[in-house]
């Protein structure tokens, strides 16, 4: 370690599921003690089994478990943790939590509370980027009345988007094509924004037709060096939620990559950013790009960058938090990579969540295949949390090899007992336009008939039949008095259970 650096020996992971497992793996490789936290439904979860110590949060809902700052900070104190890694979601972009960690002498493995707050407020972030010379989509500050919004929309030109000033993920967002639609949409967005974020403020942004959603991964140390690790194409989205990501982007040219990379670095430097983050852009049909937002955390889709650069982003996060510089990092890229998000949901029933017992699980393998998962056979997927089960990521020398490999890996993925979107994802990656790299953020809507009709695939029907047979056999064994399932902890400590140690 460099002089003045602080080694973080014990790291509390304030998260669950696949991202908590993924962070644990790097911590173990670095020789750091891992502290897990878990809700009641997650008592036997995989991220708990990967930890050296595990502490019960008590409760089931996100608000009383992974979003409860006081519980997590108290566990950090009791466990003697040196640092907290928030993963993504939950408290990862909460400036109050980041500041509370710092006040208690805990290293927050992420950016400063000031940077999180600065970039979390959308209109303020737009203004800062504009002053720094980063292109932004034409828009407005927060608007107080529908009358103001009507005037601004006329100035910008229809169609426009009404967006929550404190929001994200598509909540508090409406497209408006005509003046008569604006008043009701303005009111509805304000109500939804208040419900989702506790802030009813909304603003207007020019709607871009057929845009690409492209983001750049950045790393910044505390010594004044900021670098980007190239782009990720994130345009395959359902209701503003990414489900397939790849790098390099099929849209990208060398010149566009250079200009967008420079803008991404400039954006991070404009807010004094330190640690890992992502600068998100919209790119129009003429390859003009505009700043969209900054995600001040590790992204769900970070593995595609890791596969093409060979950089462990979680390791770099930890080393930056310890005070290490990025002086040795010279980002380069080899090949291509793609990620598919595996969800417990039923695409042929309005994508409704599908919680329940995973009876059998056989993930794919072979060259260039990585499965980041938070589940196992015998685990009951809870209904309280996001239905993301795993991220299937593949690497190849070319995009053609990646497409072939992803199709094979999705075919090979066997998960029985609950519904998943695996058959739907296979249809996406085999679609002729996707194969050609001709797609934008409206791809799934444009091709929903191709992707969803005429119903469940033959392979899916076979999987359902197999699951039914396995369930029947399990019932027969149980009736015969045979134990069919075990729930046993390893030899590590589990705090919060009767008789368990808190130390």
Residues with a known catalytic role: 297
Q: Contact, 415 vs 389, CB < 8 A?
A: yes
C-alpha to C-alpha distance for 159 and 368, rounded to whole angstroms: 43
Q: With DSSP H G I counted as helix, E B as strand and the rest as coil, what are the percentages for the chain, rounded to 5?
A: 35, 25, 40
| Per-residue DSSP letter, 257 | H
C-alpha to C-alpha distance for 356 and 367, rounded to whole angstroms: 31
| Per-residue DSSP letter, 143 | B
Long-range contacts of 459-466 (CB under 8 A, 24+ apart): 459/411, 459/423, 460/423, 463/414, 463/416, 466/360, 466/416
Q: Contact, 191 vs 171, CB < 8 A?
A: no
Q: Contact, 323 vs 2, CB < 8 A?
A: yes
C-alpha to C-alpha distance for 63 and 161, rounded to whole angstroms: 30
**Residue 386, both tokens:** 């996001």
> Strands 388-396, 336-343: parallel, antiparallel or unpaired by DSSP?
antiparallel
Q: Contact, 182 vs 146, CB < 8 A?
A: yes
**Residue 96, both tokens:** 């109050």
**Residue 317, both tokens:** 């996060």
């Amino acid at each position: 370690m460099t002089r003045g650096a602080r080694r973080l020996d014990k790291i509390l992971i304030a998260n669950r599921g696949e991202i908590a497992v993924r962070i644990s793996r790097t911590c173990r490789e670095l020789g750091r003690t891992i502290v897990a936290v878990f809700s009641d439904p997650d008592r036997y979860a995989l991220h708990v089994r990967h930890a050296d110590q595990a502490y019960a949060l008590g409760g089931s809902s996100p608000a009383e478990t992974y979003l409860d700052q006081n519980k997590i900070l108290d566990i950090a104190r009791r466990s003697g943790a040196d640092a907290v890694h928030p993963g993504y979601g939950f408290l990862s972009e909460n400036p109050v939590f980041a500041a509370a960690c710092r006040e208690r002498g805990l290293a927050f493995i992420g950016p400063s509370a000031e940077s999180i707050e600065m970039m979390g407020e959308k209109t303020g972030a737009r203004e800062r980027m504009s002053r720094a010379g980063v292109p932004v989509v034409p828009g407005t500050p927060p608007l107080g009345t529908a009358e103001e919004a009507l005037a601004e929309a006329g100035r910008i030109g229809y169609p426009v988007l009404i967006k929550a000033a404190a929001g994200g993920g598509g909540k508090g967002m409406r497209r408006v094509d005509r003046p008569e639609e604006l008043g009701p949409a303005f009111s509805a967005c304000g109500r939804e924004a208040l419900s989702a974020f506790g802030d009813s403020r909304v603003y207007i942004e020019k709607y871009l037709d057929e845009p690409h959603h492209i983001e750049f991964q950045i790393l910044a140390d505390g010594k004044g060096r900021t670098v980007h690790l190239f782009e990720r194409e994130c345009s395959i989205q359902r209701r503003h939620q990414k489900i397939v990501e790849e790098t390099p982007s099929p849209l990208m040219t060398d010149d566009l990559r250079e200009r967008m990379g420079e803008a991404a670095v400039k954006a991070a430097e404009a807010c004094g950013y330190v640690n890992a983050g992502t600068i998100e852009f919209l790119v129009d049909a003429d390859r003009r790009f505009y700043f969209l937002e900054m995600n001040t955390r590790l992204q769900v889709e970070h593995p595609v960058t890791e596969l093409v650069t060979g950089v462990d982003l979680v390791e770099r996060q930890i080393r930056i938090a310890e005070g290490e510089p990025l002086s040795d990092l010279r980002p380069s890229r080899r090949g291509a990579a793609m990620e598919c998000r595996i969800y417990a949901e039923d695409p042929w029933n309005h994508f409704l969540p599908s919680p329940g017992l995973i009876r059998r699980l056989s993930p794919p393998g072979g060259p260039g295949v990585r499965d980041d998962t938070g589940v196992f056979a015998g685990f009951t997927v809870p209904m309280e949390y996001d239905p993301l089960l795993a991220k299937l990521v593949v690497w190849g020398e070319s995009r053609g090899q990646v497409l072939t490999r992803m199709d094979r890996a999705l075919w090979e993925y066997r998960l029985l007992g609950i519904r998943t979107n695996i058959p739907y994802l296979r249809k996406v990656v085999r679609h002729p336009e996707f194969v050609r790299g001709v797609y934008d953020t409206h791809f799934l809507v444009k091709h929903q008939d191709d992707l969803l009709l005429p119903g469940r695939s033959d392979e899916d029907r076979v999987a359902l039949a197999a699951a039914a047979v396995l369930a029947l056999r399990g019932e027969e064994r149980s009736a015969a008095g045979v134990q069919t399932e075990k729930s046993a902890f390893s030899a590590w400590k589990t705090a919060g259970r009767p008789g368990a140690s808190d130390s």
